[in-house]
Amino acid sequence: MVDFFKKKAKNSKDDILSGLTVALALVPEAVAFAFVAGVDPLVGLYAAFMIGLITSVFGGRPGMISGATGAMAVVLVSLVKEGNEMGMAMATPVENMGLNYLFATIVLTGIIQFLAGVFKFGKFVRLIPHPVMMGFVNGLAIVIFLSQLGMFTEKIAGEAVWLHGAELYTMIGLVILTMAIMFFLPKLTSKIPAALTGIVVVSAIVIFGGLDVSTVGSFIRDGGGSGLEGGLPTFQSQLFTMVPFTWETIKFVLPYASILAAIGLIESLMTLNLLDEITNSRGNGNRECMAQGAANIVTGFFGGMGGCAMIGQSLINVKSGGRGRLSGIIAAVTLLAFILFAAPYIEMVPIAALVGVMFMVVIGTFAWSSFRILNKIPKSDAFVLILVSGLTVIFDLAIAVLVGVIVSALVFSWENARRIRARKSIKEDGTKVYEIWGPLFFGSITTFMNKFDIANDPESVEIDFIESRVSDHSGIEAIGNLVKKYEDAGKTIKLKHLSEDCINLLNRADDHFRTVIIRDIDDPRYYVVTDKAKIE
């Protein structure tokens, strides 16, 4: 019992300290993504707080951090812009109408995601192949790295210009110092959180050394924001009065909501899968879908820009020791405390410290083993890995994963389509036997049909499926067509070792098959396109 409480106390300490680290790392990310979407920084910070809190309490993966993300922010850019234009085109022009459309879209996004969880769509993340997972991880690491390069610029006359001279060297030095602390401190002791220590040490050096470097506060002001300080999120009652509930509104927000829901769920479920591998535990995808949906519904009604799981912050959390729900709760509550009470102090944190933390996340995220295995795995898998990595960087995660899964499925179908075989033999009574080997499905039916020599076969033919599996309705149709061709040629054909399900489907199509099919006690027991074959 004593050991149990000691373990709980240690876990709680790790969760609290890692939650504080994540909260600091969330600030510039949420602010940056708000600027990308074209909204006030507080809209991004409120989203990070509300989504982070709700998913930490109710989500399907303890230790996973959610908040405002770049993948969703990119989609919101055109939504806000078009919404503003629609607002100015109204009979009574309304300024910043795009923000109201944004909130309405996020609410609808949440409803779609919640329904996805109710109908258990989360389980389909299991269909994502490992090369796609590796490509996703590598691509995301590159995206995180590239996003941090913008921190090495400054605004001059509204234009982003690369730092140079002493400013650049100071920035690089502070980043390297943060990374060095995070690398070497765990080798000395595991009781002190390395990321939080790096941020505190570098912040102290900047503040007490009077160094003139970019901070969280200057980052917000450079982006056009007034500061980090704000109040509690408020209910957006104007959604019921200013956003017209018309068919035109639905046509406008539904496509955006569908895209955002897909991006959010894919990124969240992929992050959940990755954390499952790191922690050797298993999260609940359907529960996470419902939690993400509920979080976005609440966020939309209370003035947030929506979001989903954040792989960078999730990895910071897990690698800092945060494995329980408490870590995410602490991160979300601390972020709100920053907004309410500690804005002036958080604005003093140097951007270099946070960049150093994110660079270490990049190093830890990238699957370096992929370089070692590229020439050892099938070329198709290597192609998918590289393709997904590239598409994640060029477009976004949803497109990359979707394309990766489609390419993997096509490669799998093509490889299996080539595996259909037919061994031929002649019985003593002159009956020709075709022993079919390999899967019979839509991709292999052409090869399957070419195995038979209907014109030159004897009067009696037998087809044995003992080493084959009929996988879909296309296979059933091919068998039916083959029987018809033999009978039209005036020949007798018998089918052996079909599963009960195949037999029922053929008999349902034509009662004549009852005289063609030979039943046996060793008939296989698999299912074809029925409810019994669904994924559990």
> Measuring CA to CA, how many Å separate 157 from each of 115, 172, 224, 326?
47, 24, 13, 44
Q: Are 350 and 257 in a shared domain? A: yes
CATH of the domain at 513: 3.30.750.24
Q: Are 388 and 364 in a shared domain? A: yes
Encode pLDDT of 458-482 as tens digits. Answer: 999 999 998 888 888 898 899 999 9
Return the closest-CA partner of residue 294 out of 64, 67, 125, 59: 59
Of the residues 349, 381, 408, which one is the last residue of a structural domain?
408
CB environment 125-162: b (16+ within 10 A), e (fewer): beebbebbbbbbbbbbbbbbbebbeebbebeeeeeeee
Which backbone phi and psi does 35 adopt, to 5 degrees? -65, -40
Confidence tier at 337 by pLDDT (50, 70, 90)? very high
What single-letter DSSP state applies at residue 427? -
Residue of 220 and 86 predicted with greater confidence: 86
Listed ranges 10-19, 65-74, 447-456; the one with the highest mean pLDDT: 447-456
Q: Are 353 and 465 in a shared domain? A: no
Q: Are 399 and 437 in a shared domain? A: no
Please state whether 258 falls in left (phi above 0), alpha (psi between -120 and 50) or beta: alpha
What domain range is 529 assigned to?
418-533
Confidence tier at 533 by pLDDT (50, 70, 90)? very low
What single-letter DSSP state applies at residue 431? -
- What is the reported pLDDT for 171? 95
Taking all residues of the chain, what is their mean pLDDT, rounded to a whole number? 86
Listed ranges 91-100, 114-123, 388-397; the one with the highest mean pLDDT: 114-123
- What is the reported pLDDT for 469? 85
- What is the reported pLDDT for 205? 95
Please indicate, yes or no, if residue 2 is contained in any of the structural domains.
no
**Which sign does the torsion angle of CA 315, 28, 228, 396 carry?**
negative
User: How many domains does the structure of the chain reveal?
Assistant: 2
Residue 142 has pLDDT above 60, yes or no: yes
- What is the reported pLDDT for 78? 83
Q: Are 348 and 459 in a shared domain? A: no
Return the closest-CA partner of residue 18 out of 330, 322, 309, 353: 322
Of 13-22, 356-365, 424-433, give the lowest mean pLDDT range: 356-365
Q: Are 432 and 403 in a shared domain? A: no
Confidence tier at 536 by pLDDT (50, 70, 90)? very low
- Average pLDDT (389-410) is 86
Of 8-22, 332-346, 477-491, give the lowest mean pLDDT range: 8-22
Please indicate, yes or no, if residue 399 is contained in any of the structural domains.
yes
- What is the reported pLDDT for 433? 94
- Average pLDDT (262-270) is 87
Confidence tier at 8 by pLDDT (50, 70, 90)? low
Q: Are 479 and 376 in a shared domain? A: no
Q: Are 120 and 154 in a shared domain? A: yes
- Average pLDDT (387-413) is 87
Statement: the pTM of the whole predicted model exceeds 0.85 = no
Please indicate, yes or no, if residue 235 is contained in any of the structural domains.
yes
93: Cα separation from own chain's centroid: 39
Residue 134 has pLDDT above 50, yes or no: yes
Of the residues 408, 443, 459, which one is the last residue of a structural domain?
408
The 3-state DSSP class for residue 438 equals strand
Confidence tier at 529 by pLDDT (50, 70, 90)? low
- What is the reported pLDDT for 501? 80
Of 102-106, 219-223, 287-291, 463-467, give the lowest mean pLDDT range: 219-223
- What is the reported pLDDT for 526? 65
Please indicate, yes or no, if residue 298 is contained in any of the structural domains.
yes
- What is the reported pLDDT for 527? 65
Please indicate, yes or no, if residue 1 is contained in any of the structural domains.
no
- Average pLDDT (439-456) is 92
Residue of 246 and 9 predicted with greater confidence: 246
Q: Are 45 and 99 in a shared domain? A: yes
- Average pLDDT (195-221) is 89
- Average pLDDT (254-260) is 91
- Average pLDDT (273-284) is 87
Residue 16 has pLDDT above 50, yes or no: yes
- Average pLDDT (72-101) is 84
Return the closest-CA partner of residue 139 out of 403, 406, 401: 401
- What is the reported pLDDT for 4? 40
Query: Which residues have CB under 8 Å from 83's CB, separation 6+?
Result: 97, 98, 99, 100, 101, 102, 252
Q: How do beta strands 432-440 and 492-496 pair?
A: unpaired
Asked whether the beta carbons of 383 and 134 are under 8 A apart, the reply is no
DSSP string, 307-340: -EE-HHHHHHHHHTT--SHHHHHHHHHHHHHHHH
Q: Are 176 and 241 in a shared domain? A: yes
- Please tell me the distance from the alpha carbon of residue 51 to that of residue 306, in angstroms, as a whole number: 7
- What is the reported pLDDT for 500? 84
- Average pLDDT (505-531) is 76
Confidence tier at 294 by pLDDT (50, 70, 90)? very high
Please indicate, yes or no, if residue 201 is contained in any of the structural domains.
yes
- What is the reported pLDDT for 312? 81
Of the residues 374, 408, 442, which one is the last residue of a structural domain?
408
> Measuring CA to CA, how many Å separate 47 from each of 25, 260, 300, 310, 502?
15, 14, 8, 12, 52
Please indicate, yes or no, if residue 527 is contained in any of the structural domains.
yes
Number of residues that this document lists for the chain: 536
Q: How do beta strands 432-440 and 460-470 pair?
A: parallel
- What is the reported pLDDT for 422? 92
HSE of 375 in the Cβ direction (CA atoms, 13 Å)? 1
Q: Are 268 and 368 in a shared domain? A: yes
12: Cα separation from own chain's centroid: 28
Please indicate, yes or no, if residue 141 is contained in any of the structural domains.
yes
Q: Are 397 and 471 in a shared domain? A: no
Neighbours of 4 (CB within 10 A): 8
